[in-house]
Structure 1
Amino acid sequence: MQLNKFPIERAKKTLEEIQNIPEHEYAEYQRKRKNAIIDYHIQHNDFYREFFNWDGFDDWQHVPIMKKSDLQHPLKDRLSSTYNTKTAYIGKTSGSSGHPFIFAKNRFAHALSWAGFQDRYRWYHIDLNKSLQARFYGIPLDFYGNVQERLKDRISLRRRFNIFDLSEKKMEDFLERFKKSDFNYLNGYTSAIVLFARFLKDKNLILKELCPSLNICIVTSERLFEKDQQLIEDALGVPVINEYGASEVGLIAFEDAENHWIVNSEDLYIEILDENDHILPYGEEGRVVITSLYNKAHPMIRYDIGDIGCLSKKSTLKKPILEKLIGRTNDIARLPDGKVVPGLTFYYVTKTIIEDNGHIKEFVIIQTEMDEFKIEYVSKQEFSEEQRAKILDAIGTYVGENLKINFERKDILKRSRSGKLKQFISHLK
């Protein structure tokens, strides 16, 4: 980052200063930062001034909510007048929610995000300048993007495992790399690591015994279920830590040694809102809305990231705790009788039954019509009639009656361009 003129040392110093602010002064720190970032964009960003419909600022709750669809305009129209594409960091979201867009951060804001990652990783004795990472991520497939990403991996001590091919033969290759390398930690998409853990379990192997330097596994970008966490920990022989972040805002929450998801309150301000945009108290579920307190290049102010979550009643302003991350707001199934069901309900129902059979590798649920769903799965053999009957019975009990369920066995499941596997997909408009 220093080579690319990101002020990482200044960012680390600022982070330390923020962390030293006493709890009783933290509300004032947040108030000043929220007002400062609003004032900056009102003065220097035509897009945000028009979006806000500015006529004076008197109450934070009057600040409009930004959705991803609001940001799907050319980046040049959304940049602050004080920055351009050469002086700011430019990134792109993966579009896992169906709304990809290009965004910008000023260099200090981006450096502050990375200072936050460095700080959290040190909780587990990971030094981003020294620790070798086994990286289970996707990678750009175009020549320039691919070369650029691999160069960044080399400099950042990351060794990438291509998760676009998760065949058994490819995972044999993964295993050989672990045997020959001194990886300190594994980081990547949950679904890919779960699949690798199943591969190890089937072979009665524990990765830590084959790669003794491995100390921890960090999963990100996709939801981690309790059974999957146990599977990974058993197969890898190291603890599994949850990371919650997004490219456009950086680190959102990170799991500590006591299994609490500690929310990043240093350079982000997190709110939980109901469907009417009212702020919910700790303990209630709602939409996760995020303000980037230092991003002057591009407004990320009261930005609805598309997730549903809940902050613990034990939270404080300085140390918010993410109690639950329920899923994405678009991960819901709508039934003919008007019932709305979280897509995860199907996942829990089928997963419980499918895990009785060790042959099932992974699966997704797809809603094709109001009353029709498809279960695509990767397995060594077809579902038996008994398995199908159990799944249909469970769906009738927990989801709804008279639904058509189609089963389709596949050799490989389709992932997004970034390599993520979406567990529930609705094709309804």
Structure 2
Amino acid sequence: MMNWRVLLMSFVRRGNLKSIYKQNLERQYEGTEVTIKCEMQENAMKIFQFHVQNNPKYREFLDSKGFDYHNLKNIIWENIPIITKDDLRKYYPEIKSETYNYTSSGGSTSIPLQYPASKESALFIWPAHWTMQQICGGRPYDKILMLMAYGNVKKTITKRIYHALSNFYTFNSFTMTEKQMENMCELIQNKEIKFIYGYSSAINQFLRFLKIKNIILPLKGIFTTSENKINSSYSLARDYCHCDVFDQYGAHDGDVFAFECEEHAGLHILHDWSTVEVINNEIILTAVKNKAFPFIRYQVGDVSLGEKLITEKCKCGRTLFRLKGISGRNTYFVKDIDGREVSVMLFTYPFDSDYNILQYQVVEENGELRVNFITDKYTKEQLIDLYMPFILSKLKRPVDFMVNQHIYKLPNAKVPLFYKISQ
């Protein structure tokens, strides 16, 4: 039975969240390898045809690639051009009549993008989270402690109301001081919170704090995201929280949501929302419900640990296709001068919301920290005026800003948010 929060939030969001959640639960165990593959292809082709027929800016992009889309019945999916964030910025192929809200991406890819979402695309996010939480007995809008980025902790009145209705208790993942972690323990006990969701690095810091203080804090489940999973978190969670850790991969710009189950044998993909391809380990996404913006064969910037999707039925019983894992996500700390560890995800908050910054990268060399910005709008001095006060409010160590310098890549060709030059 759904609780009143689901009904109220469905009314506020103008959509049936209960129905989406129910569909996700049922679809986890339905289908065969053949039927799921067919569904993913049909869903992807359907949204492609919609944008070809209704989106002149998307057609302009296809024209620029020399792609003939006039005979839709004879289109070969693999021949459709891959679209990048640069392409989407250049053409900005929005269908305003389909736009429900706007959001932004960047995070671990360090390439900011603001984009619109249609209603179905926007509404699936939290029912997807509930589907994951159900693995360990979670229900919609159970109390959950959120280790969030700075922007989500600094709440407007609207955000405070939303978090209260959602049963979120938020802490800043970039200020994991002993005092904050003590406050987290107290809140979890007093409010009887049973779930934690947040950055892998911040959760690992909290679990190490529990070990150092020898605190037992029983929970039902811990969900990590945005960064590479940290293997030590699994044993720490079992020892000090008596629960399991489940890694989650999501990219709302491609509407992908994938999560570990109790078998920890890959990330289950909710394919009703995103058709996922793996090409030379590169993750390519098609947001099959987003009629406002064509994330079609979209190069999201993430790299798969596997060369292809895992299509076999999982031991847990789910038939959902799986990603083996995600390579090149950021699980890095920088040491402040007082010894405190600060996640490099700190840098995603101020820069991801500025769309005059095309890309950025944090580099550490010989103990010196610098941020390199790719931009044709700002000088170094302007960036210092805009963003240095925020950075220095979180870090005591010196940070330098650079403009349009060399961007470092990993061996897998992914551009990491943080790159350390070893001597």
Matched, 1:5 2:14: yes
Partner Cα separation in structure 1 for residue 117 and residue 151 of structure 2: 21
Q: Which residue of 1 aligns with 2:149?
A: 138
1:62 counterpart = 2:79: yes
Q: Which amino acid aligns with 2:97?
A: T
CA 1:73 to 1:232, structure 2 compared with 1: closer, same or farther past 3 Å?
farther
Structure 2 gaps of 5+ residues are 1-8, 314-318, 345-360, 370-394, 400-415
**Aligned match of 1:381:** none
Say which SS state the counterpart of residue 72 (structure 1) adopts: helix
Classify 1:174/1:115 alpha carbon distance in 2 versus 1 (closer, same or farther; 3 Å): closer
CA distance 1:413–1:175, shift in 2 (3 Å) = farther
1:40 paired to 2:50 = yes
- Please tell me the residue identity of whatever aligns with 1:59: I
Q: Partners in 1 of 2:83 and 2:57 — Cα distance?
A: 12
Cα deviation code 1:259-311 (max 9, x no counterpart): 1221222221111112xxxxxxxxxxx11111111111111111111111134
Q: What is the CA distance between 1:248 and its match in structure 2?
A: 2.1
Q: How does 1:248-327 map to 2 (within 5 A)?
A: 248-260=253-265, 261-274=267-280, 286-311=281-306, 314-316=310-312, 319-327=320-328
Cα displacement (A) at 1:413: 11
Which of 71, 77, 85 is 2:88 aligned to?
71
Q: Which position in structure 2 is the counterpart of 1:424?
A: 418
8 Å contact 1:366–1:375 — kept in the other structure? no
1:106 partnered with 2:106: no
Which structure 2 residues correspond to residues 334-353 of structure 1 after superposition, within 5 A?
A: none
The verdict on how the C-alpha distance between 1:325 and 1:46 changes in structure 2, with shifts beyond 3 A counting, is: same
What is the deviation of 1:65?
A: 1.2
1:279 maps to which residue?
none
- SS of 2:98's partner is coil
Cα offset for 1:5?
A: 0.5
Contact 1:139/1:146, CA 8 A, preserved across alignment: no
Please give the alpha-carbon distance, in whole angstroms, between the structure 1 residues aligned to 2:235 and 2:40: 38
Tell me the secondary structure at the aligned position of residue 295 of structure 1: coil
TM-score, with length taken from structure 2: 0.70
Q: Distance in 2 between matches of 1:178 and 1:114?
A: 22
Report the 3-state secondary structure (helix = DSSP H, G, I; strand = E; otherwise coil) of the residue aligned with 2:35.
helix
Q: 1:49 to 1:314 in 2, by over 3 A?
A: closer
Contact kept, 8 Å, 2:194 with 2:221, in 1: the verdict is: yes
1:359-384 Cα deviation digits (max 9, x unpaired): 8856779645xxx55487xxxxxxxx
Aligned amino acid, residue 105 of structure 2: T
Determine helix, strand or coil for the equivalent of 1:164.
coil
Deviation (angstroms), 1:256: 0.6
Match of 1:398 in 2: none
Instruction: Check the 8 A contact 1:198/1:361 in 2, yes or no.
Output: no
Moved more, 160-169 or 29-38: 160-169
Other-structure match for 1:118: 130
CA contact (8 A) 2:25 2:131 kept: no
Could you list the per-position Cα deviations for residues 163-195 of structure 1 after superposition, in whole angstroms to 9, with x for gaps in the alignment? Answer: 332222222222222232210211111111111
Does structure 1 residue 231 correspond to structure 2 residue 260?
A: no
Q: How far does residue 162 in structure 1 lie from its aligned partner after superposition?
A: 2.3
2:227 to 222, 226, 235: 222
Summarize the Cα distance change of 1:375–1:219 in structure 2 as closer, same or farther, 3 Å threshold: farther
> How far apart, CA to CA, are the structure 2 residues paired with 1:423 and 1:80?
31
Q: For residues 131-165 of structure 1, what are the alpha-carbon distances to aligned partners after superposition, in whole Å with 9 as ceiling and x for unaligned? A: 1101111242797x633322211111111112332
Q: Give the Cα–Cα distance (whole angstroms) in 1 for the partners of residues 86 and 294 of structure 2.
A: 14
- TM-score in terms of structure 1 length: 0.69
SS at match of 2:179: helix
* Whole-Å separation in 1 of the counterparts to 2:398 and 2:207: 17
Report the secondary structure of 1:79's partner residue.
coil
CA deviation after TM superposition for structure 1 residue 4, in Å: 2.0
| In 2, Cα distance between equivalents of 1:151 and 1:82 | 28
Q: Shift of residue 78 of structure 1?
A: 2.5
**Structure 1: runs of 5+ lacking an equivalent:** 209-213, 275-285, 332-343, 377-409, 415-421
CA deviations on 1:103-128 (whole Å, 9 max, x unpaired) are 22211222234333322221221112
Give RMSD over aligned pairs.
3.4
The amino acid across from 1:230 in the alignment is: S
Q: 1:288 aligns to what SS in structure 2?
A: strand
SS in 2 for 1:117: helix
Q: 1:138 to 1:89 in 2, by over 3 A?
A: same
1:79 partner letter: E
Question: Which protein has the larger Cα radius of gyration, Structure 1 or Structure 2?
Answer: 1
CA distance in 1, matches of 2:93, 2:60: 11
How many angstroms apart in 1 are the aligned matches of 2:258 and 2:203? 20
Confirm or deny: 8 A CA contact 1:117 1:251 kept in the other structure.
no
Contact 2:108 2:226 survives alignment (8 Å): no
SS at match of 1:207: coil
Return the structure number with greater helix share.
2
What letter is aligned with 2:133?
Answer: Y
- Asked if 2 retains the 8 angstrom alpha-carbon contact of 1:244 and 1:253, the reply is yes
The answer (yes or no) to whether the contact 1:113–1:251 under 8 Å persists in 2 is: no
**Shift in Å, 1:316:** 4.3
Cα distance in 2, alignment partners of residues 163 and 149 from structure 1? 17
Q: Is the 8 A contact 1:134 1:183 kept in 2?
A: yes
Equivalent in the alignment of 2:387: none
Instruction: State the number of aligned residues.
Output: 337
The one-letter amino acid paired with 1:304 is: Q
What secondary structure, in the 3-state scheme, does the structure 2 residue paired with 1:90 have?
Answer: strand
Counterpart Cα distance in 1 of 2:153 and 2:309: 46
